[in-house]
Amino acid sequence: MNRKYIFILVLIIASLIGYYFYKKYNVPPSINFAGLELYNLQSQKINFNDFKGKKMLVSFGASWCGNCIDELNSLKKIKEKSLSDVEIICISDEDIETIAAWKERKQYPFTFLKLNTNFNAIHIFSIPTSYIVNTKLEVTNETVGFIDWEDESTREHLKKLME
């Protein structure tokens, strides 16, 4: 086989592998929130449809994730003055005791829920992964990675998507 064709074949294969990993770790999956099995910190099953009528930020994260902690700390700083009408829901696949200790230790004023499976089962491979959900329970924005909620222009743009 000609070296030129081998080079092109290797380039195509490398591009496909790169695309696969980019999509896996940088593109948030579509999630059927109503189909998730979620529990509150008292181990009671939660129906996501109960949040209908509320503007929401739903963030999938974990207590050991630095970017998750940074994002929640950013949200905590501005929650009362800028996001008082937004329900912030943190979903973790860790055990309930770990989630409760994390919430208490950081004194987060958010709703924390336990996902009854691991993130991989719902195709979340990178955290934080956040969803903006409007009052009709429609996802209007999806993001993988840290969002700087203290940046006013970002915050105002995302809040408009919650309408």
Domain count along the chain:
1
Q: Please give the residue range of the domain that contains residue 85.
A: 31-161
Q: What is the CATH number of the domain that holds 69?
A: 3.40.30.10
Q: Report the mean per-residue pLDDT for the chain.
A: 89
DSSP per-residue string spanning 84-120: TTEEEEEEESS-HHHHHHHHHHHT--SEEEEESS-GG
Within a domain: residue 102?
yes
Q: Is the pLDDT score of 95 beyond 70? A: yes
Within a domain: residue 106?
yes
Model confidence, pTM: 0.85
Give the confidence band of 4 by pLDDT, cuts at 50, 70, 90.
Answer: confident
Within a domain: residue 145?
yes
Q: Is the pLDDT score of 141 beyond 70? A: yes
Within a domain: residue 6?
no
Which stretch, 74-78, 103-107, 142-146, has highest mean pLDDT? 103-107
* Token pair listed for 142: 């999806």
Give the confidence band of 1 by pLDDT, cuts at 50, 70, 90.
Answer: low
Q: Which residue has the tokens 């860790």?
A: 94
Within a domain: residue 11?
no
Within a domain: residue 51?
yes
Within a domain: residue 12?
no
Q: Is the pLDDT score of 21 beyond 80? A: no
Within a domain: residue 13?
no
**H or E element, residue 57:** strand 55-60
